Structure formats: C-alpha cells, structure tokens
Amino acid sequence: MKTKKTKTLFFDFDGTIVDSKEAYYDAMEENLEGWGLGRAKMDKVIDFGFSLKKTLRKLGFSWVNTWILKKKIMDKVRKRVNEVKKCKDSGVIKGLGGRKILVSNSLKEFIMPVIKHLKLKGYFSEIYGADDFDDKAEFLKDYIKKKKLDEGECYYIGDRVRDVEVARKAGCRSVIVSNKCSWDSQGELKRAKPDFLIRDLDELRKLV
C-alpha cells in the first residue's frame, strides 16, 4: 500500500487569517503624515508586501528613524489588537491535516496577542514572525531544505501578489485567497497567476 505523503502548509497571517489592514494603515498614516508622505506613496510601498522595517526603509527613512518609527507604529497597532477580526473560514485551519506553520512579516509582539485574542492557539505547530528572518522566501527555502521536505507537498497560503512570488522563490505551490480580507484585489491576484486562487479558506479542504 502506497504511503500518503505529509503536506506542509505555510500560512501568511495578515489578510489571510486575520483582518488587520486598517490597524496597520491607520497607525502608519498617523505616524508618517508629519513626514509629508501621502496615502498614495504609502500604498505603493506597502503593496510590495515587505515587513514594516523594510517598508520604512523603502520609504527612504534612515536606520535610526526606521527604528523609532517602527516602535511608534507598533505601539499604535498593539493597542488595536482587540479590533482585529478573523478572516472568513479561518477556523477551518485547525481541522486540516499535515504540518501547519505560520510565517508572517508581522512582528511576534503583534502576532501572539492576536492569536490569544482570537483563540487561534493550537492551530499551528510553529510560528515565525519578522523577528525570525529578513527575507520570507529565503527563510522558507532554507526551512524546506533543512527539514528535507518534498517541495511538491509544500503549500504557501497568502492573499497578495507578493505571496505568489514568495511561494515561487521558496519552491512551494501558491494558494491565494481572494476576498474582502485580502490586501490585494482579485484582478491583481489573477494576473499574478498563482497555482490556486480560492475565495475562502474553506476551499483548502479540497486542495490538501
């Protein structure tokens, strides 16, 4: 009898599992408006899907100002933890088979309180935040190699064009969720040509 291979599911956090977009955008806008940065420029850089540190560097801030602003922004974001809601059908994740690993560009100082608030503890065997890596794609690629995982059985579940690129670089299959919670539009996501484009996390049952 042929042994069924174990699938490894890498999950993005913001926009995929939790709806945190407004908390981040509002905190950034409040702290950056004094620097003469409009919403349009912030949107353009945020759309790259980088960590907060990389986003601030892309906006042209020095390392010192990046450190100061990151702290101020995260202070604001943390105060809104209780406003963050689950994305549609995120409860499905708990019942899925295979390894379930959370890999987010958010810092753990935000991730862990949100997980506690939304009762998501126990959904994932491992949790990694921006504190643990500089480049998500490289981190995933190294993780897969180190754990000797079958790339064909590795899936990266996200909600952005950037997530499609991350999956490709890491050697994973890309599963992109397109709904009201997603940070990128359906048109943008379709043009990125992910391996799978789904409307909600419930559709993962059919894939994995």
In terms of Cα–Cα distance, which of 17, 15, 12 is closest to 25?
A: 15
pLDDT tens per residue, the chain (208 residues)? 444 578 999 999 999 999 998 888 888 888 888 888 766 667 666 655 568 888 888 888 999 999 999 889 889 988 999 999 999 899 999 999 899 999 999 999 999 999 999 999 899 999 999 999 989 999 999 999 999 999 999 999 999 999 999 999 999 999 999 999 998 999 999 999 999 999 999 999 988 7
* 73 shares its domain with 97: no
Kindly state whether residue 165 falls inside one of the protein's structural domains.
yes
Q: How many domains does the chain have?
A: 2
CA dihedral 59, 62, 63, 69 (to 10 degrees): -60
Report d(CA 153, CA 173) in Å as an integer: 8
Q: Under a CB-based contact definition with an 8 Å cutoff, are residues 192 and 161 in contact?
A: yes
* 113 shares its domain with 166: yes
Kindly state whether residue 172 falls inside one of the protein's structural domains.
yes
Kindly state whether residue 136 falls inside one of the protein's structural domains.
yes
Kindly state whether residue 148 falls inside one of the protein's structural domains.
yes
Kindly state whether residue 2 falls inside one of the protein's structural domains.
no
* 159 shares its domain with 195: yes
* 132 shares its domain with 41: no
The parent domain of residue 159 ranges over 8-19+85-207
Q: Under a CB-based contact definition with an 8 Å cutoff, are residues 181 and 15 in contact?
A: yes
Report d(CA 118, CA 204) in Å as an integer: 20
